Structure 1
Amino acid sequence: MNLKIGVYMVMAVTLIAGGSLLVAKGKDAVSQAENRKQGTLEAEQKIMLYDKSPGTIVQVNKAMGEAVQKGELLFKVKSAGGTEEDVLAPETGQMSKIVVKPGDQITQGMPVAMIQKSAYYTDLYVQESEIQKLAINQGVKVHFPYLDHPDQVHGVVASVAAAPQFANLRMTRERGQADLSMLLVRISVDASPDLLPGMTAEVNLDDLAD
């Protein structure tokens, strides 16, 4: 019995020591989870505002969901003076919304459509203690863990907020357990046929060089 108790004590001491070492190195499960930052993949949207003479929509060249190229003809407008104005796509992307139709009267400043750009991004909140791992224009690996075949694409740090966005309150209020300041980091992501807005994007800070 005494031998069995002794074995249990040795095992307990070993586990505690090993766990303490992992925590000190930041390799425990909690630390690893905190270093995996997740956000939602978003697509940039461009609202098109009509900037020419007032007139009437006489032609709509695109439908919702269709791809467009920058400079491509989207609408024709007949002005009050009888001349026709061409409305061209300001960005390459996809028509995500069209708010006018032939026969509509439009004036300068009215929205006519929305284009979903081909560029994606994700916003992540990073602890102040980890922010030094990231720099503007730094390349990062962005994972998409919930795809049928988990994908990884190249991303770039586009911006880091100058001021903390919020404080992530700790579970205890013991001395030395200060609140963690979180900063907003935007990662630009290369477009890929497998990616869609709304997907979960993940960046593992442990993959970055210290």
Structure 2
Amino acid sequence: MKQKWVLYMGIALVLIVGGSLLAAKGTDAVSQAENRKQGVLDAESKTILYDKKPGTIYQINAGLGDSVQKGDLLFRIKLEEGSEEEVFAPEDGLVNRIAVKLGEEIMPGMPAAVVQKNEYFTDLFVQEGQIHKLKMNQSVKVRFPYLDQPIEVDGIVTSIAAAPQFASMRMTREKGQADVSMFAVRLSVPSKAGLLPGMTAEVDFNEIAD
């Protein structure tokens, strides 16, 4: 019985010492989780508002999901006096909504389509104690860990701003019950085959030099 008690005490001591060393080095599970910031990949969209004379849609040159370039012809509109107006793509991107139909009347101010830009971004929320690792236009490795074949790209820091909604967030570890200020960081992410808006993007702050 005494030997078992000594064995259990030895195991417990090893676990305590090992856990303390990991925590001191910042490699314990909690520290690792805090250093891996995750956000959702998103893309800006441009709504095309018709800004010409009233008319009737008589030609649609783009469909849902089509890739378009800035200046591509999207629609032709027949005006009442017999002349025509044309609507062009304002950005490179994908058509993710067609808001008009053939033969439909269109008036100034009405939405005609929505084009999703080819430029992606993700927003991360970073604690005050870590924000010093980031600066404007800095290149940061961004991973997409939940794909069958994880993808890694170089993201660029495009904005850093205080996040007021997190100003009263309370942390129970290390900070006690002190309020922790948070910062919203936006990373520009290149569009790449296999990436889609809605995917989880991750940045490991352990890999960013102080």
Amino acid at match of 1:97: R
How far 1:6 sits from its partner (Å)? 5.7
Give the Cα–Cα distance (whole angstroms) in 1 for the partners of residues 165 and 129 of structure 2: 14
Tell me whether 1:30 sits opposite 2:30 in the alignment.
yes
**Contact (CA 8 Å) 1:164, 1:184: kept in 2 or not?**
no
Shift of 1:2: 6.5
Is the contact between residue 68 and residue 95 of structure 2 (CA under 8 Å) also seen in structure 1? yes
Instruction: Quote the residue 1:196 is aligned against.
Output: 196
Q: Which residue of 1 aligns with 2:171?
A: 170
Aligned amino acid, residue 141 of structure 1? K
Deviation by residue 1:122-148 (Cα, 9 ceiling, x = unmatched): 111111211111112111111111111
Aligned pair count reads 209
Moved over 6 A (4+): 1-4
> Cα RMSD between the aligned structures?
2.3
**One-letter amino acid matched to 1:105:** E
Distance 1:152 1:5 in 2: 49
* Pair 38,176 (structure 1): closer, same or farther in 2 beyond 3 Å: closer
SS at match of 1:24: helix
Q: In structure 1, how many angstroms separate the alpha carbons of the residues matched to 2:179 and 2:80?
A: 62
The 8 Å contact of residues 93 and 116 in structure 2, kept in 1 or not, is answered as yes
CA deviations 1:33-73 (Å, max 9, x no partner) are 11111111112211111122222212111111111111000
TM-fit CA distance, 1:15: 3.7
Q: Decide whether aligned partners of structure 1 residues 175 and 158 sit closer, same or farther in structure 2, where only a CA change above 3 A counts.
A: closer
Contact kept, 8 Å, 1:165 with 1:183, in 2: the verdict is no
Q: Please, which runs of 5 or more residues in structure 2 have no aligned partner?
A: none
Q: Is the 8 A contact 2:170 2:177 kept in 1?
A: no
| Counterpart residue number, 1:67 | 67
Q: Does 1:130 align with 2:110?
A: no
For residues 161 and 108 of structure 2, the distance between their equivalents in structure 1, rounded to whole angstroms, comes to: 35
Question: Aligned-pair distance for 1:82?
Answer: 2.3
